Amino acid sequence: MKSGVLDGLELLWCKRFRSVTLKCDSEEALELIKNGTADNHPCSGLVHYIRKCINRCWNIDLQHVYREANRATDLMAKLSHSISS
C-alpha cells in the first residue's frame, strides 16, 4: 500500500533531514497518526508503519493545513505519483 506521508517521511529520513514539519490536509489522517488505531482498523498496518517512522530519533511537527492553502504542495505530491508510476 502506498502512502504519500510514509513515502515522504522515508525520503526525508534517507536524505538525513532530522527536523521536519509534516503538513497534511486530512484531519482524520493526522488523528490516526497521532493516536494510533485499533488492530482491526483497515488502515492499522499503514498507521503503524507511519508511527514507527515518526518515532525515530528526529523532530517532527504534525500540522493540519487546508488543501486550498497548500495547492503547491498538493500539486507536487500529484506530480511525484505520476512520475513514479
pLDDT in tens, 52-70: 999 999 999 999 988 776 6
pLDDT at 85: 52
Residue spans per domain, the chain: 4-84
Amino acid at 35: N
For 4-84, CATH number?
3.30.420.10
Name 73's Cβ contacts closer than 8 Å, sequence gap at least 6.
23, 65
Q: Is the pLDDT of residue 71 over 80?
A: no
Sign of the dihedral through C-alpha 83, 20, 55, 30: negative
pLDDT in tens, 1-45: 458 889 989 999 999 999 999 888 889 999 999 999 999 999 999
